[in-house]
Copies of this chain bind each other. A is one copy, B any other.
Amino acid sequence: MTDLILACDFGGTKLSAAVVETAVLGQPHPQWRTHLRRFSPPGATAQTDIAMMMQMGRELLAGERPSAVGISFGGPVDYQNGVVRLSHHVPGWENVPLQAQFEEAFQVPVRVDNDANVAALGEWRFGAGRGVADMLYVTVSTGVGGGWILDGRPYRGATGMAGEIGHTVVDPQGPLCLCGKRGCVERLASGPYMAQDVAAARGLPTEEVTGKLVAEWAAMGQETAVAILERGAWGLGVGIGNAANLLNPARIVLGGGVTKSGERWWQLVQQTAHAIALPEIQFNITPAELGDDAPLWGAVGLVLTEIVT
């Protein structure tokens, strides 16, 4: 008999699901047996997204029964109780008992956690974090989030909120963030904020600039773009260096669109982080390996770590 794990990723506007045979998980680069990605329609709610995801799962399983289901959710989750706290993108997600609903639907054990924690677990079990016991995963994208593996297991904090490196402050005189503080890592290093700053400095409409464009302009030597991108890399580097001083992880794994900003960006992040960390605190900073599939592989990792063990 083949043991199957169903992995689901509620990604805001995209829903992804995949099935993997547990027998292949020991391989260096395991592959999905089947995989589906669909856009959540306009006007989607928690209810319609859940129904669509369950339908995708059933299609992928084609009548077979999985041994467990792992779920990544793009928003805060009460991991202990398997309850989604809310979504910043889709209405109706307040206090949804997602774990119980999937356990009811599939009649197997289910675990749910937020996407940053789950992606950290994915990179640790199947990607750039393999082989270390203490790791910080950071995604630098439309926001800046993080997840920890400490002493060889996921660390979530007292109420599941650990990993918020994006809202650590690295420059109290820096620009104002929506969170109300100045100079948090997310305000300096995330794509939309960098785009906003470049647009403002160059007198362009905000909607014409993206984080990707900032990186392209910087690569061409456009001064404002270079300055803003380098400030972002510096801010992220200080945040990582501070985290390294606090936790002494062996590895930092960086994922998300902004990490595609080129060699110079990486160099600055590395230099800054190592300059901020004490000389005795050694670590390496490496690119994530799993790309968009990190939450799905992490959902598999969630099952392996928390259910099968």
Contact = CB atoms under 8 A, between A and B. Distances in A.
Contact of A162 (B133, B181, B246, B276): B246
A250 B165 CA distance: 17
A132 interface: yes
A172 B169 contact: no
Given A164-B281, A179-B278, A134 B150 contact: no
A160 B275 contact: no
A150 B155 contact: yes
The DSSP consensus for interface residues of chain A is loop
A187 interface: no
Interface stretch (A19-27, A198-206, A236-244): A236-244
A181 B246 contact: no
Contacts of A278: 161, 164, 167, 179
A142 interface: no
Nearest to A239: B242
Nearest to A251: B158
How many copies the complex holds: the figure is: 2
Contacts of A276: 168-169, 181
B245 A164 contact: yes
A134 B151 contact: no
B157 A248 contact: yes
A228 to B, nearest CB: 17
A161 B242 contact: no
Given A155-B151, A276-B181, A168 B76 contact: no
Interface string A119-152: 0000000000000111000000000001010110
B162 A248 contact: yes
Interface string A256-284: 00000000000000000001101011110
A157 B249 contact: yes
A161 B159 CA distance: 25
A170 interface: yes
Contacts of A161: 248, 278, 280-281
A293 interface: no
A162 to B, nearest CB: 4
24 contacts: A132-B158, A134-B157, A134-B158, A150-B151, A151-B153, A155-B247, A157-B247, A157-B281, A158-B249, A159-B248, A159-B250, A161-B248, A161-B280, A161-B281, A162-B246, A162-B248, A164-B246, A165-B246, A169-B170, A171-B172, A181-B276, A242-B242, A246-B246, A246-B247
Interface of A: 76, 132-134, 146, 148, 150-151, 153, 155-165, 167-173, 179, 181, 238, 241-243, 245-250, 275-276, 278, 280-283
Nearest 8 interchain pairs by C-beta: A157-B248, A158-B250, A168-B242, A162-B248, A164-B245, A161-B248, A134-B158, A168-B245
Given A134-B157, A159-B250, A162-B246, 9 more contacts: A146-B246, A150-B151, A157-B248, A157-B249, A158-B283, A161-B280, A165-B245, A171-B172, A181-B276
